[in-house]
């Protein structure tokens, strides 16, 4: 009986390590506002544009999505989604 329990426990621990991490909890009162990002449209993604996008939108996190990017459908009011064209230039932004 004990010989069976050890491999089963090891398997459960291994599966637990593969579980996805939960996204950070939204901060009350912190919501994204993508309406102020018009000046970034046409700019290429860089650390500077990423920082500016977060500053302007007041979002807590950002997600940069290219033409072939997959994205989860969960809504997060404190997240900025920046949409890029095939050349890495910003074409639009939205919150969620």
pLDDT digits (tens), the chain, 96 positions: 556 555 555 554 454 555 556 655 656 666 899 999 999 999 999 999 999 999 999 999 999 999 999 998 999 999 999 999 999 999 999 999
CATH topology of domain 30-96: Trypsin Inhibitor V; Chain A (3.30.10)
| Three-state DSSP string of 31-61 | CCCHHHCHHHCCCECCHHHHHHHHHHHCCCE
Which residue from 70, 59, 68 is spatially nearest to 94, judged by alpha carbons?
59
Contact 79, 60 (CB under 8 A): yes
User: Which tens digit of pLDDT belongs to each residue from 18-35?
Assistant: 555 665 565 666 689 999
Q: Which residues pair with 17 in a beta bridge?
A: none
State residue 31's pLDDT score. 84
pTM to 2 decimal places: 0.69
């Amino acid at each position: 009986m004990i010989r069976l329990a050890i491999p089963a426990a090891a398997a459960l621990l291994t599966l637990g390590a593969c579980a996805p991490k939960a996204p950070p909890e939204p901060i009350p009162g912190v919501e994204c506002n993508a309406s102020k990002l018009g000046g970034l449209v046409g700019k290429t993604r860089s650390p500077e544009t990423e920082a500016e996008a977060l500053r302007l939108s007041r979002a807590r996190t950002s997600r940069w999505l290219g033409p072939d990017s997959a994205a989860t459908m969960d809504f997060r009011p404190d997240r900025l989604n920046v949409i890029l064209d095939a050349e890495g230039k910003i074409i639009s932004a939205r919150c969620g």
